[in-house]
Amino acid sequence: SQTKAEPMRVLVTGGSGLVGKAIEHVVKQEGGCLKGEQWTFLSSKEANLVDLQQTRAVFEKYRPTHVIHLAAKVGGLYLHMKENLHFLRDNLRINDNVLQTSHERGVTKVVSCLSSCIFPDKTTYPIDESMIHNGPPHDSNFGYSHAKRMIDIQNRGYFAQHGRRYTAVIPTNVYGPYDNFNFENGHVLSALMHKTYAAKKEGTPLQVWGSGTPRRQFIYSLDVARLFLWVLREYDEIDPLILSVGEEEELPIKDAVQMIADALDFKGQIVFDTSKSDGQMKKTASNAKLRRYLPDFTFTPLSEGIKKTCDWFVNNYDIART
Ligand code: NDP
């Protein structure tokens, strides 16, 4: 069995996505990999984790001692509204395959990824880690949300029945290089970056879907990655941990739109299309628990992260997911 002194073999599912690429960067470029450790970053091309046989085969191949589980069927608000059942079923399967295969192969620690969009819709704010099951999530993405919530239940089960220390983190809205910049299916900031880039090129107004008034806490993907490594090495609880900037940094989407316009030097008109759905008006998350562990962690300021992401998008337009 694995002792703490042996080097880890870490398998990162969803290693080709926004968060996975950021973890890869921190591991390979910021000294996040310790001597003797082996890190593998998976994409769906190597194994479709909806399929149990493929999941087992990839675990057999890499024999991980630790797993960072990021793989998920994810999308923007509008895609979720269209395909709730699909999001529910694929994510239930992916999560069950990864957690049960990890258990069967003796993986000592799994850190999975929940999301702040799974929080109860009708709630008091700020929301903390103890409240995630207190009432149904927002209707727009109930499928994805319920599948994600089950990860927390499974983690409790693997601990109660098998003593496994499987846990989860809950990042708020992540943005950064390698995000999905698709207009319809991308996350809000990356879709807006792409729209702004296109509007500038074509000399047309920037059309923002929704009123711009919903408030969000945004976290830069590299900050998420640095925190993930700390959780993998140091965080010993089964209960999840919210990864977020402070409550006071929750801001209206229209403020972020202005930062994007500044970063891309867009001088045209900005139009808010209020016929499109806004989603939840706010989902203020508390980072008090994170702050108890890491009082001095410095988050990348939003304007700086947006500037870096816009620069990456412009310079990598050919490979960006659009
Ligand atoms: P991305 O969409 O950027 O990446 C998703 C990853 O999952 C990709 O590597 C993709 O592989 C992989 N994947 C999808 N389906 C399968 C499958 N059937 N089998 C194997 N791999 C699969 O997502 P993010 O990086 O944004 O998200 C990572 C995690 O963080 C997810 O669990 C998400 O729910 C969570 N999260 C994200 C937030 C955000 O704002 N982005 C906020 C909170 C949580 P491939 O590249 O081959 O398609």
- Kindly provide the ipTM of the predicted complex, given to two decimals: 0.98
Query: What residue owns the CA closest to ligand 1's atom 35?
Result: 113
Q: Is the CB of 49 under 6 A from ligand 1?
A: yes
Closest residue by Cα to residue 70 from 231, 206, 211, 184 = 231
Q: How far is the CA of 314 from the centre of ligand 1 (A)?
A: 22
Question: Among 11, 23, 24, 44, which residue has the most ligand 1 atoms within 8 Å of its CB, making it the best to mutate?
Answer: 44
Instruction: Please tell me the pTM assigned to this model.
Output: 0.95
Q: How far is the CA of 14 from the centre of ligand 1 (A)?
A: 5
pLDDT in tens, the chain (322 residues): 455 568 999 999 999 999 999 999 999 999 888 889 999 999 999 999 999 999 999 999 999 999 999 999 987 677 788 899 999 999 999 999 999 999 999 999 999 999 988 999 999 999 999 999 999 999 988 999 999 999 999 999 999 999 999 999 999 999 999 999 998 878 889 999 999 999 999 999 999 999 999 999 999 999 999 999 999 999 999 999 999 999 999 999 999 999 999 999 999 999 999 998 887 788 899 999 999 999 999 999 999 999 999 999 999 999 999 9
Residue-level pLDDT at 82: 86
* Cβ neighbour number for residue 217 with a 10 Å cutoff: 25
Q: Give 55 Cα–ligand 1 centroid separation in angstroms.
A: 16
The DSSP output letter for 87 is: H
Contact 264, 200 (CB under 8 A): yes
Nearest to 75 by CA among 153, 158, 188: 188
Tell me which of 62, 144, 166, 220 is the catalytic residue: 144
12 lines ligand 1 (CB under 6 A): no
> What whole-number distance in Å separates Cα of residue 104 and Cα of residue 301?
42
Q: Is the CB of 14 under 6 A from ligand 1?
A: yes
The CA 163 to ligand 1 mean position distance, Å, reads 27
At 69, is the secondary structure helix, strand, or coil? Answer: strand
Helix H or strand E encompassing 310: helix 302-315
Mark whether 144 is an active-site residue: yes
Report strand pairing: 215-216 vs 251-252: antiparallel
Cα–Cα distances in Å, from 213 out to 206, 255, 286?
16, 9, 20
Nearest atom within ligand 1 for CA of residue 48: 19
Give kind and range of the element (H or E) at residue 195.
Answer: helix 188-202
Residue nearest to atom 28 of ligand 1 (CA): 70
Number of H helices, E strands in the chain: 10, 12
Residue 74 confidence (pLDDT): 86
- Rounded-to-integer distance, Cα 64 and Cα 48, Å: 17
Is the distance from the beta carbon of residue 74 to the nearest atom of ligand 1 less than 6 Å? yes
Ligand 1 centroid from CA 37, angstroms: 24
Structure confidence at residue 250 (pLDDT) = 97
Instruction: Output the pLDDT for position 5.
Output: 65
**Residue 20 in contact with ligand 1 by CB distance below 6 A:** yes
- For residue 208, give the nearest of 222, 218, 217, 198 by alpha carbon: 198
Ligand 1 contact via 149 beta carbon (within 6 Å): no
Residue 280 has a pLDDT of 78
In sequence order, what DSSP letters do the residues of 217-256 get, joined into one string?
Answer: -EEEHHHHHHHHHHHHHH---SS-EEE---GGG-EEHHHH
Could you tell me the distance, in angstroms and rounded to a whole number, from the CA of residue 72 to the centre of ligand 1? 4
Q: Which of 18, 80, 242, 319, when mutated, tests ligand 1's pocket best, judged by the most ligand atoms within 8 Å of its CB?
A: 18
